[in-house]
Amino acid sequence: MTPDRPNFYSGTYIDRRTEMREQTDWLTSALADPQAQYLLTRDTRQLLHAEPQPRIAFVSSRHAAVAAAEPDRFVLLGWFRERRCLLLTLPPQWPDADLPGGASFQELRPLSPQLDAEEAGLLAYARALSVWRARQRYCGVCGGPTAPARAGHSVVCADRNCAQEYFPRLDPAIIVLVSDGERALLGRQRTWPPGRYSTIAGFVEPGESLEDAVRREVMEETGVQVLGARYDSSQPWPFPASLMVGFQAIGAPDPVRVGGELEDARWFSRAALLAGEVQLPPPHSISRRLIDGWLGARR
């Protein structure tokens, strides 16, 4: 993978046109646009066609779900493939009989490897927003209900004496390929498929830099000291709201002491990884990009 190639779920797949969020008639304009397309979601599942391969089942303004929806259920995502695109969150009781033929609500994560990269990015963007909106229905200051603003990209406390505004949040996490020069440090969690190993990862804590988080997480999980780290790339990870910040790091060739959430951690040679002695993360993950980058650097 080349350094300038975007990770899966990222890239210039959409023109966000953030200035449109400030227009009070944004929804009226969208509903009047015959080219507008709507991405439907229910809970954390999104409407997709399954055949011949998974793809988004967009609907138009004429669809019954769009016509019946309350205004606060829409979010302006931007322009996708030069067409206005909105997210519409349906109530749980919306009947499947009113959905397009062959379409059903599906979870994004297991289908990701089969999706077109641009559509996967749009679905990740929409999923992050829908999860955030579902969790921000009440004000964290006074407990009052919130109402959407800025075309669905913020919510405001409905109590005028409070009027606290909230924006979508991200949980930054580091993910790092640690090498001692000839070996890579990989670990596995108990819940993963048998034989799978991956890079070390963890959430950034308050008052901590990304580099500090790299050093702390690697030490906590494996007992290995990080001597230096450099930024590689990042990846949105909307399960539910993470931003994975990837690093390549140099570690001291210390013995591994497993701790934290890992079931096992080991040093692996390039030859072992290239021979397929362990199952690596899926190709669309940033962890695989980090591993492939390390393998390719000295082939």
Res. 228: pLDDT tops 80: yes
CA distances, 256 to each of 184, 224, 251, 261, 268 (Å) = 12, 6, 11, 14, 12
Report the C-alpha gap between 43 and 56 in whole angstroms.
16
Listed residue (230, 198, 238) closest to 214, CA to CA: 230
CA distance 116 to 73: 26
pLDDT mean over 253-281: 95
Report the share of the chain in percent with pLDDT over 90: 89
So what's the pLDDT on residue 124? 97
Tell whether the model's pLDDT for residue 299 goes beyond 70.
no
Contact 56, 117 (CB under 8 A): no
pLDDT for the residue 214:
98
Phi, psi of 270 (to 5 degrees): -60, -40
- Dmax (CA) of the chain: 64
| Residue 27 DSSP one-character state | H
Dump pLDDT digits (tens) for 141-164: 999 999 999 999 999 999 999 999
pLDDT above 70 (res 298)? no
Residue 1 has pLDDT above 50, yes or no: no
Tell me if the pTM is above 0.85. Answer: yes
Task: Report pLDDT for 4.
Answer: 67
Checking if the pLDDT of 2 tops 70, the result is no
Q: What is the pLDDT of residue 246?
A: 98
pLDDT above 50 (res 176)? yes
- Rounded to whole angstroms, the Cα distance separating 49 from 293 reads 34
Q: Say what the pLDDT of residue 184 is.
A: 98
Tens of pLDDT along 178-199?
A: 999 999 999 999 999 999 999 9
Render pLDDT for 10-49 as a digit per residue (tens, 0 to 9). 999 999 999 999 999 999 999 999 999 999 999 999 999 9
Instruction: Tell the CATH superfamily of the 171-297 domain.
Output: Nucleoside Triphosphate Pyrophosphohydrolase (3.90.79.10)
Q: Contact, 224 vs 185, CB < 8 A? A: yes
* Nearest one of 227, 218, 291, 288 to 260, comparing CA atoms: 218
**83 pLDDT more than 90:** yes
Given this model, what pLDDT does residue 93 score?
Answer: 83
Q: What average pLDDT does the structure give for the chain? A: 94
Whether the predicted pLDDT of 98 surpasses 80: no
Buried b / exposed e across 19-42, counting CB within 10 Å, b at 16+? ebbeeeebbeebbeeeebbbbbbb
- Check: CATH 3.90.79 for 14-135? yes
Instruction: Read off the pLDDT band of 171 (50, 70, 90).
Output: very high
pLDDT attached to residue 99: 82
Please indicate whether the domains covering 14-135 and 171-297 agree at the CATH topology level: yes
**For residue range 192-221, what is the model confidence (pLDDT) as tens digits?**
999 999 999 999 999 999 999 999 999 999
Confidence band, pLDDT 50/70/90 cuts, at residue 102: confident
> What are 84's strand-pairing partners?
79
Q: Please check whether residue 46 is in contact with residue 121, taking contact to mean a CB–CB distance below 8 angstroms.
A: no
Mean pLDDT computed over 54-59: 96
Contact 267, 180 (CB under 8 A): yes
Output 230 or 297, whichever has higher pLDDT: 230
Residue 279 confidence (pLDDT):
97
Q: Where are the domains of the chain?
A: 14-135, 171-297
